[in-house]
Structure 1
C-alpha cells in the first residue's frame, strides 16, 4: 500500500510529517521502537531538505511517498526545489572529538544511516531524491 504527502518547505510542517509517518505505520505489525526510528529518520531528512536545500522557502515543496511490502518499508522524499542537495558521503565521525569541540549539529545523517538499512541520495531530472528503506521481516 502506498501513501503520499506533499508539504511546503517550512519547519512548521515537520509535525505533519511525523504524524503522517506514524499514522502510516500504526496499522502495521511493527514495534514501537521501529516506528520511532523511522519517524526520526524521515524527520531528519525532511528537515535537511527544508533548511539546507531550500532555505525554508515555502514556495518550494517536498513529496513523501511511503510503501510497505512483506519484507521492507520504503520511503522516498523528493525535493522539487531549485537546488541539487546531495549530502557528503556517510562517515562515522569521532563522537568524543565532536563533544570535545562542543560542536552542535552535523550528526543527523549519521543517525539516519544507523537507523535505516539503506539510505540513498540521487537526482531525478533536476531534483534531489532520498530513498530510505528498512527491513521489517
Structure 2
C-alpha cells in the first residue's frame, strides 16, 4: 500500500509527520518499539530537510511517501526541492568528540543509518529524495 503527505517546511509540521508515520504503520503487524524507531528516523530526515535544506521557509514543502509491502519491507521517501545533501561526503561523528565538546545535534543521521537497513540520497531534475528501506520481520 502507498501513503503520502505533503507539508510546509515549518518545524511545527514535524508533529503531523510523526503522527502520519505512526498512524500508517499502526495498521500493520509491526512491533510498537520498531514503529517508534521508524518514526524517529523519518522525523530526523524531515527535520534536517526543513531546517537545513529550506531554512524553515513555510512557503516550501516536503513530501513523505510510505510504501508498505507486508512481510517484505517498508520504503520511506522524503522528497523536496531544497538544497541537496551530498551523502557521499557524510562522515559519521565520533560520539566521544560530541560529548567532549558538548555539541548539540549531529547524531541524527547516524541514528537513521542504524535504524534503517538502507539509506540513499539522490537529486534529479530539481528534486532531492531521501530513500530509506526497512526490512520487516516475518511473523
Aligned to 2:12: 12
Q: Structure 1 residue 35 and structure 2 residue 30: aligned?
A: no
Q: Structure 1 residue 51 and structure 2 residue 51: aligned?
A: yes
- By how many angstroms is 1:87 displaced? 4.3
- Equivalent residue runs for 1:61-100 within 5 Å: 61-69=61-69, 70-81=71-82, 83-87=83-87, 89-100=89-100
Q: Distance in 2 between matches of 1:94 and 1:105?
A: 12
Aligned to 2:110: 110
- By how many angstroms is 1:120 displaced? 0.5
Q: Distance in 1 between matches of 2:48 and 2:92?
A: 19
- By how many angstroms is 1:105 displaced? 0.9
- By how many angstroms is 1:103 displaced? 1.2
Q: What do the CA deviations read for 1:8-39 (whole angstroms, capped 9, x no partner)?
A: 00001000000000000001101011100100
Judging changes above 3 Å, is the alpha-carbon distance between structure 1 residues 27 and 130 closer, same or farther for their aligned structure 2 residues?
A: same
Q: Distance in 1 between matches of 2:46 and 2:86?
A: 13
8 Å CA contact 2:41–2:112 kept in 1: the answer is: yes
Q: Distance in 2 between matches of 1:60 and 1:85?
A: 17
In structure 1, the gaps of 5 or more residues are none
Which region of structure 1 is more displaced relative to structure 2, 61-70 or 15-24?
61-70
Number of residues of Structure 1 aligned to a counterpart in Structure 2: 136
Q: Distance in 1 between matches of 2:30 and 2:100?
A: 37
TM-score normalised to the size of structure 1? 0.93
Q: What do the CA deviations read for 1:74-124 (whole angstroms, capped 9, x no partner)?
A: 00000123x223346443432122211111111110011011111111012
